[in-house]
Amino acid sequence: MTTELLHQMEGDKICFTALNRNDAAQIHKYASDKEVSRFIGWSLMESPDETIRHVEQMLKREAEGTHFYASVTEKYSRQIIGTAMIFNLDREAGHAEIGYVLSKSCWGKGFGTEVVELLKAFAFEVLELHKLHARVVEANTGSCSVLEKNGFVLEGRLKDYYFIEGRYYDGMFYGFIP
């Protein structure tokens, strides 16, 4: 029941829909883009079959209740433009981590801000959490900006936390308590 509520959320520009194996071709468009996958923690999806396996793994985690996933769908075109997630859920402590990935064509247009708004609403109104957090690669300034627009506060910097393409990056740890 709870997962279905996530998949019914909508904003002005986007709506969340259930992640579906049949949507792997649309997901592959952004999951196979090197620039998109560089800082998100997913490996670059080299083939459509690899993307299908990745979607199946996400569906398995969602069925086990350890993760919440939604396809981010552009409201009017009904095209899947990204993925939103809540994970590392600690029900006893009342906190979880959020993540999101959007097609490069959607960057800088307010879609990410709306994704985080919807994730916050779900986390606090439905899951009744106390706190959300997000970890971001320091070089992903767009994601840092999205979090800050949504009231997340930079709580810490984790030195050399990420090793990407032969280089270390600091991890930026953001938190939000309503």
Low-confidence stretches of the chain (pLDDT beneath 50): none
Q: Tell me, what's the pLDDT at 32?
A: 87
pLDDT digits (tens, 9 = 90+) for 144-163: 999 999 999 999 999 999 99
Expressed as residue numbers, the domain containing 14 is 2-176
112: domain CATH number is 3.40.630.30
Say whether pTM exceeds 0.75: yes
Domain count, the chain: 1
Return the closest-CA partner of residue 53 out of 64, 41, 43.
43
Answer whether 24's CB lies under 8 Å from 52's CB: yes
